[in-house]
Structure 1
Amino acid sequence: MRHKLKITREINLQIKHNLITMPGVSFKEISTVFSHPVALDQCDRFFEKFPGLVKRSAYDTSGSVKRIMEENLRDCAAIAGKQAAEYYGGNIVMKEIQDNKENFTRFVLLGRELETRKKADKTSIAFSFGNAAGALFKCLSVFALRDIDLTKIESRPIHGRPWEYLFYLDFLGNTGQESTLKALDHLRELTEFLEILGCYPRDASHEKKGM
């Protein structure tokens, strides 16, 4: 929010982690596995199955493949997507080793202006309020009263204000709709801070696949 940018698009990509080595290297030759810390954590069951493998954190997944290829690390592997293996010439020795086979990561496109196109059906907001009994319940009630579907809520501590939080909320609706406008007006009455982070078309591609 510091940069005053707005969300204009979202895309949900399915994450499939693969174990990648240099060409000609077998699984039995591997002793160390590089990847981004999040990717390593998402493959916990794989490491439980093969406890002899040493995990090493790297700055990103693709960079891990690049490293083992450029440094000729024949006793090492990387966890990354198949595109990284194809780009750097790596060999996939194990496919889809992630714990959750329905693992999606959400990416957003940012712009300088808030868009309110008719096909936009999802809105993201941020808000905060004073510490009072039932405050969060009251804030969420403005959406329930109008049958507005919430798709995500999370909180982050507010710097310099102990025990106070900034809430991030996604819901289905366009900021031009009457029900959305009334809900946001109602929410303003209950909060100390409210900002619309974006109004954009939701990516429902994973829902169409039954994921």
Structure 2
Amino acid sequence: MTVAFQGVAGAYSEAAAAQLYPDATPAPYDTFDAVFAAVESGTVEAGVVPIENSLFGSVHANYDYLRTHHVHVEVGQFLRIRHCLMAPSGASMDAIEAVHSHPQALGQCQGYLSDTLPQAQSVAAYDTAGAARDVAESGTATHAAIASRQAAAEYGLQVLAEGIEDHDRNYTRFLGIRAGTAKDHVHPQANRTSVVFALRENVPGALFKSLAVFALRELDLCKMESRPQFGTPGQYLFYVDVAGSYADLPLRRALDHLSEITTEQKLLGAYYEAPVPPA
């Protein structure tokens, strides 16, 4: 089995893939879109993508790709993210002029960077491990990267500081995805169901009515995320996570009720998600 992830060796997504699919072979891809396309086409059996971080919020592009690609969520997992500051051998903290990493990682460490390296410029990269690789290849002792300890070992970088994230409860939620329709692939132990919908009318009370279909059946909403509808300014898509399985009759009835007031509705997955690990 082959599992796609975005980034290069040493990426946090690779670590998440190893947890979700321990017997699989990881396959790196340059972009999230490429991961979704590989899963959808059957080039790989599964993919692993981040969807949100506890410090820096959602990975918005992946919400969009869940809707636009013919895939479904089959599993969820929280991964503890421990960031390291790393640089080529011989580097010193007071000489660092630039810190490279993915914007999510830079955001998760912005307090540390502001307090400890106020002189350093933050440079966005497409991947944490890719930033580490690029810094290693450059050999420039004034440039550092934020990535995992695994990435530092992978690319021969010196760890200058560890645990630099702004809070010790820094977790990223990852989703395992496969090709196919969610309704045809309901996990037998599903404890979470995700759906996206667009409201039929943008009128007062429309959003309240959409949420009421769950409240009337005493269904617990875990999360709600809104995204602009492409090409229709002022109109939004709503992504909702509900505790429970699509196999449960009250949840199916809620979604049937919801379809009466929506112009678009897609079940993204009915899957098992492990609880957040203890501190």
TM-score, scaled to structure 1: 0.92
Q: Does 1:169 align with 2:235?
A: no
**Structure 1 counterpart of 2:95, one-letter code:** E
Instruction: Tell me the alpha carbon deviations over residues 143-165 of structure 1, each in whole angstroms, 9 at most, x when there is no partner.
Output: 11112111111111112222111
Checking the alignment, whether the CA contact within 8 Å between 2:74 and 2:187 is kept in structure 1 is: no
Q: Which residue of the partner structure matches residue 53 of structure 2?
A: none
Q: Does 1:94 align with 2:161?
A: yes
Q: Distance in 1 between matches of 2:204 and 2:177?
A: 35
Q: Which residue of the partner structure matches residue 148 of structure 2?
A: 81
Q: Distance in 2 between matches of 1:33 and 1:7?
A: 34
One of 139, 142, 146 as aligned partner of 2:210: 139
One of 99, 105, 111 as aligned partner of 1:45: 111
Q: Distance in 1 between matches of 2:135 and 2:69?
A: 37
Instruction: Tell me the alpha carbon deviations over residues 57-108 of structure 1, each in whole angstroms, 9 at most, x when there is no partner.
Output: 2221111211221221112111111110111121111111111322222221
SS state at 1:192 partner: strand
Q: Distance in 2 between matches of 1:99 and 1:27?
A: 18
Q: Distance in 2 between matches of 1:192 and 1:71?
A: 51
**Structure 1 counterpart of 2:154, one-letter code:** Y
Q: Distance in 1 between matches of 2:91 and 2:234?
A: 52
Q: Report 1:1-211 matches (<5 A).
A: 1-49=67-115, 50-113=117-180, 114=182, 115-129=185-199, 130-204=201-275, 206=276, 208-210=277-279
Q: Distance in 1 between matches of 2:230 and 2:144?
A: 39
**Structure 2 counterpart of 1:154, one-letter code:** E
Worse overlay, 36-45 or 125-134: 36-45
RMSD of equivalent CA atoms: 1.5
For structure 1, the residue ranges without an aligned partner over 5 or more in a row are: none
**Structure 2 counterpart of 1:122, one-letter code:** R
SS state at 2:68 partner: coil
Deviation at 1:41, TM superposition (A): 2.0
Deviation at 1:117, TM superposition (A): 3.0
Q: Distance in 2 between matches of 1:199 and 1:14?
A: 24
Q: Distance in 1 between matches of 2:198 and 2:128?
A: 35
Aligned residues: 208
Deviation at 1:22, TM superposition (A): 1.6
Instruction: Tell me the alpha carbon deviations over residues 159-206 of structure 1, each in whole angstroms, 9 at most, x when there is no partner.
Output: 2222111100111111111111111111112222211011100121x2
Q: Distance in 2 between matches of 1:151 and 1:2?
A: 22
Checking the alignment, whether the CA contact within 8 Å between 2:73 and 2:270 is kept in structure 1 is: yes
Q: Distance in 1 between matches of 2:188 and 2:96?
A: 53
Structure with larger RCO (C-alpha < 8 A, sep 6+)? 1
